[in-house]
Structure 1
């Protein structure tokens, strides 16, 4: 193996953090949940690159876990946000930008008649559930096993501190399985408020699965027949696959959809986009947050959506994803490995075939770090418009060297 990264400052920061932060870090960005040796703290980012606290540079394939869709520090997006900051951000009420952004989104998303804004994806998915229950007067929510919809008691992947009552009205089913969905709908009976689905199956450490049109149509038909709401959790995939909404290519329209991550290129913003049949529910509930009306992030969102609409950013990102997928397959094959690359190429899940305990994937990603590429061994990754052909080729070369490192160490599937 090659030498380890210089990481003395990162280690020192982790030691300091443990004194004042439980476990030193929380949530999905706690690197102890990835693999020992990952940098926890970063000093800057630009385009498709990040630098850790020790100054090590990486071509980044996590893109801030999704928000970076155009490139870190995109000049036009940041200029729009900063111009708004100089006037007002959080005030006694929103600015005109709120209305402009809602108008832009309803004109862009093929299923949207109205919008509400929040700060995080969990805010948006939770409000969608509340709106669906308010609008239908029912309680049961059907969701796919293993799907991630946020980190509050009704949906958190951890049940520590969660009561049975928090999840009393959730009914699980198996993603993509029409018979399983039929059974869940039957179990809900006349108390079905909503079916919530992620845009595609992106469970951790599993092959990703794109929805079939038939499956989405079946979910839509159940909601049409029962009067329930169909909710698309488009937090992760929204504004990466299709500006009209991730299900637009299937011709299936949700009643409610939750967006965040890429909506404002890293500025904190989330949105619910709803159809008119869900408007009464939205009008009847109380949902709010002190910073949900911040104008700077909305200005960034407005700029981001317009850039995505007026440029080839999405097509370029898809092309770079295809280039990366091909290069990684070839690099793996040269060293006697086989990859399982699933999901959209813009949001790839990359697993080593036969790597049952992810030990090989962990070692590969750690070796890639040492060669200047930031990958994730068990979570889907992200590309952005700032990734160019030279970045992809350099990353593939680095991963090729990482495969050589783990092969030399004798790490092979059992």
Structure 2
């Protein structure tokens, strides 16, 4: 009996919840948090989180390198963020209108993000990217949108990678280009002609699960900016996944490129449901003219959490910390993989690492390794990038590497 199998017998509460969920939730679970296709050692349901660690409903503890798929940047149950949220909750959350926190948060984002002159808010990443596209089309009076091939920008009818439930008309105005390929970008713009409303792009390519992550080349980033300018189109930066992990501001600022609109979510409120679009003055009128709203878009608690969280991230060089601990993790995993005869590729920034096994049809090695790691209390993902946070310490990395050494060894024994 493998340790993975033993772990299954230690999850009776999780198993019971899965059975109950299957009766009342379509498919038992849905979306990117569905663990059905992952090894059985992964829990579906959790009880609590603290710092860089999670506890599932059966009391099993994990060093977490997924951070809720990105939202937890300052650590689970961060005391500063939670105190700010609790103070606002004591006064009220969804009221007859927004609280003063909305203005304060907008001011903070404008002060923090170089290209930003204003901010609007929603609840999740799809809200933000949809809002940005709508503003771009309203401002330009044009329809076509360029996006990276296979890039993910939300779960609406325009961008959802699963077309089931949408129509060809929903995607008729989307034209694809290849990331870091200027010729492909220019060809897509030529196809759009005089009807190009905008270009939506992520700071780096993080599509997965087959392709490696790729940082943006300087020439490509600047070509995107120049193409938007030549065509009177809007450059939209999707920082839903990357926001504040790479740069405390706009991710392409170090490349000398400022977008017109930036979509944020995930990490800006450290796990509280919040998203934002920030933009330049030239687009403020269009942003005001469109109709965009939601009953919970103006709630004060998440905005109070966002103010506290961004304040924490501005106090120190948090991207440098995440890069440091991420590099320690990456270096340790590389050595362990080689010791066990695995060829792996690690790509992307260390704060958002991705590990791929070479010659791994069906992701058998990735599943074996991450399953064995989960059985030992380390949460990684076989086909999605991971996330580091400011709560991850050198000791967390050392503890995790002690366990992943065993996970690599088990994966080698299972695969032969």
How far apart, CA to CA, are the structure 2 residues paired with 1:234 and 1:136?
22
- Deviation by residue 1:265-316 (Cα, 9 ceiling, x = unmatched): 1111000010112212111100000000011100110011111101243321
- 1:49 match: 53
Give the counterpart of 2:263 among 258, 262, 276: 258
Give the counterpart of 2:92 among 84, 88, 93: 88
- Structure 2 residue 382 is the aligned partner of structure 1 residue 380: no
Unmatched 5+ residue regions in structure 1? none
Unmatched 5+ residue regions in structure 2? none
- 2:16 match: 12
How far apart, CA to CA, are the structure 1 residues paired with 2:254 and 2:216?
11
Give the counterpart of 1:174 among 165, 175, 178: 178
Report SS of the residue matched to 1:51. strand
Q: Moved runs in structure 1, 4+ residues, more than 3 A?
A: 33-37
Report SS of the residue matched to 1:232. strand
- 1:344 match: 349
Give the counterpart of 2:78 among 66, 74, 79: 74
- 2:26 match: 22
- 1:314 match: 319
- 1:70·1:313 contact (CA, 8 Å) conserved in 2? no
Closer/same/farther in 2, CA of residues 139 and 99 from structure 1, 3 Å limit = same
- 2:148·2:177 contact (CA, 8 Å) conserved in 1? yes
- 1:195·1:229 contact (CA, 8 Å) conserved in 2? yes
Q: Displacement of 1:329 after TM fit?
A: 0.4
- 1:128·1:272 contact (CA, 8 Å) conserved in 2? yes
How far apart, CA to CA, are the structure 2 residues paired with 1:72 and 1:93?
29
Report SS of the residue matched to 2:27. helix
Number of corresponding residues: 411
How far apart, CA to CA, are the structure 2 residues paired with 1:218 and 1:312?
29
The alignment's TM-score, normalised by the length of structure 2, stands at: 0.97
- 1:121·1:260 contact (CA, 8 Å) conserved in 2? yes
How far apart, CA to CA, are the structure 2 residues paired with 1:36 and 1:361?
14
Give the counterpart of 1:213 among 210, 215, 218: 218
- Deviation by residue 1:197-255 (Cα, 9 ceiling, x = unmatched): 01211102121011011101101001111100000000000111101211111110100
Give the counterpart of 1:183 among 180, 187, 194: 187
Give the counterpart of 1:363 among 345, 349, 368: 368
Q: Displacement of 1:36 after TM fit?
A: 4.2
How far apart, CA to CA, are the structure 2 residues paired with 1:114 and 1:273?
6
Report SS of the residue matched to 2:6. coil
How far apart, CA to CA, are the structure 2 residues paired with 1:371 and 1:174?
39
- 1:135·1:281 contact (CA, 8 Å) conserved in 2? yes
The alignment's TM-score, normalised by the length of structure 1, stands at: 0.98
How far apart, CA to CA, are the structure 2 residues paired with 1:171 and 1:54?
47
